[in-house]
Homo-oligomer: A and B are copies of this chain.
């Protein structure tokens, strides 16, 4: 059921505060209005568009937090990170990332996002991938926004290893998951 404008706008603010990465299209669907209506709502409420909201979050700058590689070497945009625990990144799939023939995203781009997040999450100056098992569960297309989550699941300080599991979703559906065995200089996090 469509809600009155005032109520919709209030809920809109709450929804976007909860999840700054929600798209206008998703909001339109949720509130059963047109995308244009959502845009007008956002203008009235002075809520920046998604692209700007993401920049905003990203500009909190994880430059000083990510240790194992410079931030510009991360494939995708890191939007949350807690070293040696978990990290989150966003990657927008564009035409140049898909197979010309079938429009399906090439595996190595999804792997690159996941792998660089597995590197970034390590609280160490050096982190290298030793081994990885990855599964592509659902084709990803151009225009899809891939949200990838890395979680540190274990450490083996004797072997200088950290284990990371990574899961990627598009609109809450899993498209990719993997496990990464990472080598690091120090055996243990402080």
Seen from chain A, the residues whose Cβ lies within 8 Å of a Cβ on chain B are: 69-70, 73, 75, 99-102, 104, 106-108, 111-112, 115-116, 125-126, 128-136, 139
| CB pair A133 B132 closer than 8 Å | yes
| CB pair A70 B101 closer than 8 Å | yes
Tell me how far the C-beta of A47 lies from the nearest C-beta in chain B, rounded to whole angstroms.
Answer: 35
CA distance A115 to B100 in the complex (A): 16
Given A111-B111, A116-B108: A73 touches B100 (CB 8 Å cut-off): yes
CA distance A133 to B47 in the complex (A): 44
Please tell me how many copies of the chain the complex holds.
2
Chain B minimum-CB-distance residue to A72 = B100
Given A115-B107, A115-B108: A101 touches B135 (CB 8 Å cut-off): no
| Of B70, B101, B129, B139, the contact of A107 (CB 8 Å cutoff) | B129
| Of B125, B129, B133, the contact of A133 (CB 8 Å cutoff) | B133
CA distance A73 to B100 in the complex (A): 8
| CB pair A133 B131 closer than 8 Å | yes
- Interface core residue of A75, A106, A135 (most chain B CB under 10 Å): A106
| CB pair A126 B107 closer than 8 Å | no
| CB pair B130 A136 closer than 8 Å | yes
CA distance A69 to B101 in the complex (A): 7
CA distance A78 to B85 in the complex (A): 41
| CB pair B128 A135 closer than 8 Å | no
